[in-house]
Amino acid sequence: MISQLRSLWQVLRHSIRPRATVQYPEQRPYLPPRYRGRIVLSRDPDGEERCVACNLCAVTCPVDCIALQQTTDEHGRWYPEFFRINFSRCIFCGYCEEACPTYAIQLVPDYEMSEYDRQEMVYEKADLLIDGPGKYPDYNFYRVAGLAVAGKDKGEAADEAPPVDNRGLLP
Amino acid sequence: MTPLTVLGGLLGLTALLTWVERRFLGLWQDRYGPNRVGPFGILQFVADAIKLLTKEDRVPAFADRAVFALAPVIIMVTTLLAFAVVPLGPGLGVAADLNIGLLFFLAMTSLGVYSVALAGWASNSKYALLGGLRSAGQMISYEVFMGLSVMGVVMLAGSFNLQVIVEAQRGLWYCVPQALGLVVFLVAGLAETHRLPLDLPEGEQELVAGYHTEYSGMRFGMFFLGEYVGLIVTAAMIVTLFFGGWLGPWLPPVIWFSLKTAVVILFFFLLRAALPRPRFDQLMAYGWKLMLPLALLNLAVTGAAALSTGGAP
């Protein structure tokens, strides 16, 4: 009996407490920069696509929502012919971002992706690509990797020594 | 005041009350409740009514059609009729001067049990039947001492006429000499209207929705409205019997009556927000082993006091 009167009183005291609700469309919750929301494909500082179509994101995706096809440009550089994410399947786990060796795929703080048509939830490469480098402004995969691409031969990457000619007789 | 005004006002108030209840539950649970439709969400009940009216009115193939249709009508009619005897002010009300007003109210709340029991029976489904049975057990048990708890008031006032009972409280409201009766009547009224701490007939966790599981559309809406009218009637009866009805200084009597009723209704909402639902055997044990002896004790003490002071005043 006492405990019931006590709980009545304690509930009544909530009349003057602030409310916990965030009035969503007018007020918005704070989303931290590392919030896992919509997935984007970023570009390197030179404006080229970062994605090298290695398929690691598609492999690691637990719900198989990523589909892509690798192709090569005239200099031998890999890039995705198409890159497709089905957001009606995506669970925003962020494994694709973890797996990506070139920081190309990134999750950004945006969750307002509702559509009236389910097919609209399938994002193509044009929908996914953004103009900037995303969370890693200075990173350029081809400037640190040993691969030879257009405008950079072997041994010219950052922190890279020239290739050793292991058939030469010189010390 | 014509019966139609009271009827219309009561139904409008009932619809509004669904919104008020949700706002207050929201307040006590640190959230807002419906606040989108109209200013402060006050038009939410209009949206709800439109939704209920446009829903499919489905009668299950396995139901007993005639009784199924009759059940929600009974609860509406009995609760609305019970309100007829409530005095809203001196000489104000539909049939407030009825000389058996209190008995009429008790009779109508007792008839309400038919609605719930018949709804459960006619639905021909196990959850509805269990809800109906529970409800019959609960309402019959609790109306025993609901009647007994108000006999102390009748003894003090010397009349079943609700107007006379209110007038008799000019000196002292009966919530002081009849405090025990008030508590017992409050619990009994809660059980009779199956408001939330005692809503075992429709306990969602175990019975889906109890006796109105199979109801949809406006038939369900009638059960819903009936329960809210029952809530208003119970609150109005508590005010009339124990808190001096329309008596009060400065303000007009109808305003006093409405204010007091609103406070009691808010208290019912608070009970809903704060207290958990007991088990059915606990409910029955409270009823027969605690509330009934308390009501009898109250009756005996009041009777003894009335005798020693030379009979009813």
Chain B within 8 Å of A11 (Cβ-Cβ)? Answer: yes
Contact A15 B30 (CB under 8 A): no
Contact B274 A8 (CB under 8 A): yes
> How far away is chain B from the Cα of A31, in angstroms, using its nearest Cα?
21
- Contact partners, residue B313, CB within 8 Å, separation at least 6: B156, B158, B168, B306
What is the CB neighbour count within 10 angstroms for residue A155? 12
Tens digit of each residue's pLDDT, chain A (171 residues): 888 889 888 888 888 888 888 888 888 888 998 899 999 999 988 888 888 899 999 999 999 999 999 998 887 788 899 999 999 999 999 999 999 988 999 999 988 888 899 999 999 998 898 888 888 888 888 888 877 777 777 777 777 788 888 888 877
Decide if B18 is inside a domain.
no
The one-character DSSP state at B196 is G
Decide if B140 is inside a domain.
yes
pLDDT of residue B310: 67
Q: What is the ipTM of this complex?
A: 0.71
CA-CA distance, B71 to B119, in Å (whole number)? 5
Residues 51-70 of A with CB under 8 A from B: none
- The number of distinct structural domains making up chain B is 1
The correct CATH number of A24-144 out of 3.40.50.300, 1.10.238.10, 3.30.70.100, 3.30.70.3270 is 3.30.70.3270
Residues in A closer than 8 angstroms to B273, CB to CB, are: 11
**Which range marks the domain in which residue B237 is found?**
60-308
Please give the structure tokens belonging to residue B279.
Answer: 């088990």
H helix or E strand, kind and range, residue B75: helix B65-84
Q: What's the order of all strands across the beta sheet hosting A122-123?
A: A66-72, A78-86, A122-123
pLDDT tens readout for residues B3-44: 788 788 888 888 888 888 888 888 888 888 888 887 888 888
Of B26, B31, B270, Cβ closest to residue A8: B270
The one-character DSSP state at B212 is G
DSSP-based three-state secondary structure for A165: coil
Chain B within 8 Å of A27 (Cβ-Cβ)? Answer: no
What is the CB neighbour count within 10 angstroms for residue A46? 10
CA-CA distance, A57 to B237, in Å (whole number)? 69
pLDDT tens readout for residues B84-139: 888 887 777 777 777 888 888 888 888 888 888 888 888 888 888 888 888 888 88
pLDDT of residue A99: 92
Contact A4 B32 (CB under 8 A): no
Q: Which residues pair with B235 in a beta bridge?
A: none
pTM of the model: 0.77
- Contact partners, residue A76, CB within 8 Å, separation at least 6: A148, A149
Q: How confident is the model at residue B1 (pLDDT cuts 50, 70, 90)?
A: low
CA-CA distance, A161 to A128, in Å (whole number)? 36
pLDDT tens readout for residues A20-37: 888 888 888 889 988 999
| Residue B100, amino acid | I
Chain A within 8 Å of B301 (Cβ-Cβ)? Answer: no
Decide if B2 is inside a domain.
no
Residues in B closer than 8 angstroms to A10, CB to CB, are: 274
Decide if B10 is inside a domain.
no
